[in-house]
Amino acid sequence: SDGDWDQSDTYWKSKEFLAWLYNESPVKDTVVVNDRWGRDIMGKHGGFMTYADNFEPGHLMDRKWENCMTLDQNAWGYRRDMNSSDVYTVKELIGELVMTISCGGNFLLNIGPNKYGTIAPIFEDRLRQLGQFVNVHEEAIFGTKPWIHQNDTQIIWYTSSVKNSRALDPNRLFNPQNRDNTVIYAWVLEFPQSNFVELPSVTVTEDTNIQLLGTPLKLVGKQGPEGAMVDMSPVRWVDFPSKDAFILRIENAADSDHNPLE
C-alpha cells in the first residue's frame, strides 16, 4: 500500500494479507515485500526495508534495504508546474546511486508520467545521461557488493567485486579485502583540484594496478601518510568517460581484516 502512513496495519489488514501471501498465494515461495504495511511499521518489519524516501544510512546495513527516490524532487507524480531546477542533475543521481549500493541498498528511481503515459523531455534526458554512465561503468555496479569501507568523505565511495567467490559465503553482505582476489572500485564524485586523488581506505602494494574505468589508461598509486595517492596527471580532460564523476578500478591492494559491521 502507498499511503500506509495514514493508518495502522490493523486498518489495512496487513497481517491477514501477508498470511495469505506467504501461505496460499501462487508466489508464496518467491515473493518479497517491503516494510510499508501501516503506520510506524517502516524499518521494523518486512523482507527488505525502505525506512523513508531518500533514505541514506551512510554505513553498511545488516538488512536488505532500498532507497526510494523520484527524479522530481517535489513530487512522485506528474506536475505541470515543475521547473528544471526541481529535477535532480545526473551528477546528483550518480551520487545517490553509489551512496546506495555502497551501503548494500537497492536504488529505486521514480519518474511520474503525464496522463498520456509519456514522460517530460527533461526526465528522458536524465535517464539517457544516467544510462550512458551506467553502461560505461557497469563493472562497478552490476554483480558488485559493498567493500569493507563504504566511503572516504562524501565525495569518494566504494564498491567491490571478487575474481573467485567459491570460498566465500554466497549470502555475505560485503566482500572482504584480499590482495589476490578483491577488485575495488573507487567512485570519485568531485574532480580533484590537484593531480592526485587521495584514497585513505586503500593501501597499495608493489603489485597494485589502477585503471581509469571505461578507458585503457593505467595510473600509478603510491602510499602516502593518509592512504593511497593516485597520480591523475596522465589523464586529459577529454579522456574521462563522464564529466560528472569517474571510477578507479584497483587490483592487488593490501589485505585487510576490517569488518564494516563491527
| pLDDT mean over 46-61 | 92
With cut-offs at 50, 70 and 90, classify the pLDDT of residue 4: confident
Give which of 85, 101, 95 is closest to 242, Cα–Cα.
95
The reported pLDDT for the residue numbered 241 is 98
Question: How many Cα atoms occupy the beta-carbon half-sphere of 9 within 13 Å?
Answer: 14
- List of E strands, 25-111: 65-70, 105-110
pLDDT in tens, 209-236: 999 999 999 999 999 998 999 999 999 9
What integer is the mean pLDDT of 244-258?
Answer: 98
Q: pLDDT above 70 covers what percent of the chain?
A: 99
Judged against a pLDDT cut of 80, whether residue 185 lies above it is answered with yes
Q: How many CA atoms lie within 13 Å of 209's alpha carbon, on the beta-carbon side?
A: 12
Amino acid 45: pLDDT = 86
Q: What is the mean pLDDT of residues 183-204?
A: 97
**pLDDT band for position 40 (50/70/90)?**
confident
Report pLDDT for 3. 65
Residue 1 has pLDDT above 60, yes or no: no
pLDDT given for residue 6 in this prediction: 82
pTM for the whole thing? 0.93
Residues ≥6 apart with Cβ < 8 Å to 120: 78, 82, 114
Q: What pLDDT does 165 receive?
A: 96
Q: What confidence score (pLDDT) does residue 2 get?
A: 64
CA distance 170 to 148: 16
Q: Are strands 156-162 and 227-231 parallel, antiparallel or unpaired?
A: unpaired
64-123 residue pLDDT tens: 999 999 999 999 999 999 999 999 999 999 999 999 999 999 999 999 999 999 999 999
Set out the domains of the chain in order of their start, with CATH numbers: 4-140 (3.20.20.80), 151-251 (2.60.40)
Report residue 175 as a C-alpha cell: 566482500
Is residue 195 very low, low, confident or very high in pLDDT (cuts 50, 70, 90)?
very high
Show Cβ contacts of residue 123 under 8 Å, excluding neighbours closer than 6 positions: 71, 87, 111
Instruction: Write the DSSP string, 129-154.
Output: HHHHHHHHTGGGTTT-B--S--EETT
Instruction: Determine phi and psi for 187, rounding to 5 degrees.
Output: -90, 120
